[in-house]
Amino acid sequence: MASPNGPVLLVEDDDGIATPLSAALRGDGYEVRRVATGGDALRAAAQGCAAVVLDLGLPDMDGVDVCRRLRGVAPGTPVLMLTARTSEADVVVGLDAGADDYVTKPFRLAELLARLRALLRRAATEPGRPTHRTLTAHDVRVDVDARRAWVGERELELTPKEFDLLALLVSEAGTVVSRERIMRQVWDTNWFGSTKTLDMHVSWLRRKLGDDANAPRYLTTVRGVGFRFAGGS
Ligand code: CA
């Protein structure tokens, strides 16, 4: 069976598990992308994948947090959790965080493959599952299609221009976006000098984000150039 929407993303730091599991997935016809940390998983998932096989025990982040954030980065993508934790409470926490199913280590490869097939089948036959394009940087999430944005769990009330500005800056998180480009893309105008409007919008956006221009957590002014949204996920 070919992977329908990109590779299966395998998130597992333990080579002793990841290597045979990758081979088994490939043997079943899936394209596989393997990463070993939660940070890499979130970045890879944002680029699109058919499903995520997610280990709970990761070196940089708790798998439950990764799962929760996957729901923002890749809504509608099935998540199969691998857990060494057998207590019912841990499994419930995992499912609450948005996992669609789980397999307890040690597992049989055939069982894992069967669970994954079932999840992919279900995802393919549930047209109601959201497929919104979502951007994230830091703890800010922007749903481009719904035109909604959040800081952590708090939804921001943004004007249309503030939303466009935030979406542009978050989409380029970690790099400086020039004033000229912002004026062109958000205000649909070529820049002839004054960008007072832009500065006002940046200041309103900062206030809504709860950011401080003098000690910015999200939005940094790069003097003479433009603005940079904090990178990382
Ligand atoms: Ca692990």
Question: Could you tell me the distance, in angstroms and rounded to a whole number, from the CA of residue 81 to the centre of ligand 1?
Answer: 11
Helix ranges (H only) for 126-189 are 160-171, 179-186
| Average pLDDT over the chain, rounded to an integer | 86
Question: Could you tell me the distance, in angstroms and rounded to a whole number, from the CA of residue 28 to the centre of ligand 1?
Answer: 23
Sequence-distant (≥ 6) Cβ neighbours of residue 43 within 8 angstroms:
233
Question: Could you tell me the distance, in angstroms and rounded to a whole number, from the CA of residue 37 to the centre of ligand 1?
Answer: 9
Question: Could you tell me the distance, in angstroms and rounded to a whole number, from the CA of residue 172 to the centre of ligand 1?
Answer: 31
User: Which tens digits make up the pLDDT trace of 35-74?
Assistant: 999 999 999 998 889 999 999 889 999 888 899 888 888 8
Question: Could you tell me the distance, in angstroms and rounded to a whole number, from the CA of residue 12 to the centre of ligand 1?
Answer: 6
Task: Give the highest mean pLDDT range of 88-97, 123-132, 188-197.
Answer: 188-197
**pLDDT of res. 131:** 53
CB 183 within 8 A of CB 191: yes
